[in-house]
Structure 1
């Protein structure tokens, strides 16, 4: 059985970004868990799992583009088109 001690994998304390967003890891923004608790039950989430998800998001996005997108438009292109 593979396991871990959650106490050894607690994420860093959140840094407030604004009234509704916190940041625990660089480039990872979260809705403030205190606000989320009003709507959704929160679960403890180990730091290694957050890092795993963040590390794989570009691979997942590339897969989605390859399988579902006819074209990929950058945010910069969207902003300059005025749409």
Structure 2
């Protein structure tokens, strides 16, 4: 069992700039660069474990949304392919 250390959980890993607008702090977790959002969106600080929890459950959430609200689910890749044609 690991202990909760505020300083470890509230200081995210160093960000790696992926594109002009995206950063990556955790492997395969891309975020809009917070520098671009400070004017219109108040930034919240929350623990690293919560970020990882949200990421781990995002597919479950999308599946639930699709089952309850979508009449049709269209793949993002299909849309990109159509745009390239």
**Fold similarity call, TM over 0.5:** yes
Q: Which moved more, 1:51-60 or 1:25-34?
A: 25-34
Matched residue count: 80
Alpha-carbon distance, 1:58 to partner: 0.4
Greater displacement, 68-77 / 50-59: 68-77
- The change in CA–CA distance for 1:65 and 1:21 in structure 2 (over 3 A counts) is same
Runs of 4+ in 1 over 6 A off after TM superposition: none
2:27 aligned partner:
26
Cα separation, partners in 2 of 1:34 and 1:80, compared to 1, 3 Å: closer
Residue of structure 2 in register with 1:36 after alignment: 37
| Per-residue deviation, 1:54 | 0.3
Alignment of 1:7-26 (within 5 A): 7-9=7-9, 10-26=11-27
The normalised TM-score by structure 2 is: 0.78
Displacement of 1:66 in angstroms is 0.5
| Structure 1 position 32, deviation (Å) | 1.2
Q: 2:42 & 2:74 partners in 1: Cα distance?
A: 35
Q: Secondary structure at the match of 1:11?
A: coil
Q: Structure 1 residue 36: deviation in Å?
A: 1.4
Gaps spanning 5+ residues in structure 2: where? none
